[in-house]
Amino acid sequence: MGIIRVDYRIYDEIVKYAKEHLPEEACGLIAGTEDENGRLIKKVYYLENIDHATDHFTLDPKDQMTAIKDMRANGLKPLGNWHSHPESPSRPSDEDVKLAFDSSASYLILSLMAENPVLNAFHIAEGEWSKEDLRITSEDYYF
Ligand SMILES: [Zn+2]
């Protein structure tokens, strides 16, 4: 698995959305492109957490279908999902590991427990998780 890149504007948008949904966990899907250098997140989908809970989430299946259709229409590859942890660190909970059925997906977890948000990406397979190389980027820096 290569590097996963996400533009800082998309990152800011996720943080803003997740903060607006406190104290509930916020969640959604990520899509973009993938090649031998890694993954590029181009679009984030904001889905309803039908649990409306502070410590777990379930993606709305109808929202999920709409998002997948949009990815197809825009030539984007589904890359995984994201959710927030309002009061716990940026790493998979026992439940997150148990419910992670897609070993090809990147699982992004945004922690809002401290003053500064922390976002990490994880690979989860067979009850084990490992951290992926997630980088928040800006093309502006190269000018
Ligand atoms: Zn979680």
* Alpha-carbon gap, residue 97 to 103, rounded angstroms: 11
Residue 117 has pLDDT above 80, yes or no: yes
pLDDT of res. 1: 64
CA nearest neighbour of 87 among 2, 15, 22, 36: 22
Q: What is the pLDDT of residue 49?
A: 97
Whether 142 shows a pLDDT value over 60: the answer reads no
Q: Assign a CATH topology to domain 3-138.
A: Cytidine Deaminase; domain 2 (3.40.140)
Distance 69 CA to ligand 1 centre (A): 25
Distance 9 CA to ligand 1 centre (A): 23
Residue 140 has a pLDDT of 73
Q: What separation in Å is there between the alpha carbon of 94 and the centre of ligand 1?
A: 8
What is the distance between the alpha carbons of residues 126 and 37, in angstroms, rounded to a whole number? Answer: 25
Provide mean pLDDT across the span 107-111.
98
CA gap 137, 143 in Å, rounded: 13
Question: If you average pLDDT over every residue of the chain, what do you get?
Answer: 95
139 C-alpha to center of ligand 1: Å? 30
* Residue 82: pLDDT over 60: yes
Q: How do the domains of the chain map onto residue ranges?
A: 3-138
> What is the dihedral sign for C-alpha 69, 73, 75, 81?
negative
Per residue in 31-80, pLDDT tens? 999 999 899 999 999 999 999 999 999 999 999 999 999 999 999 999 99
Torsion over CA of 48, 52, 56 and 86, rounded to 10 degrees? 90
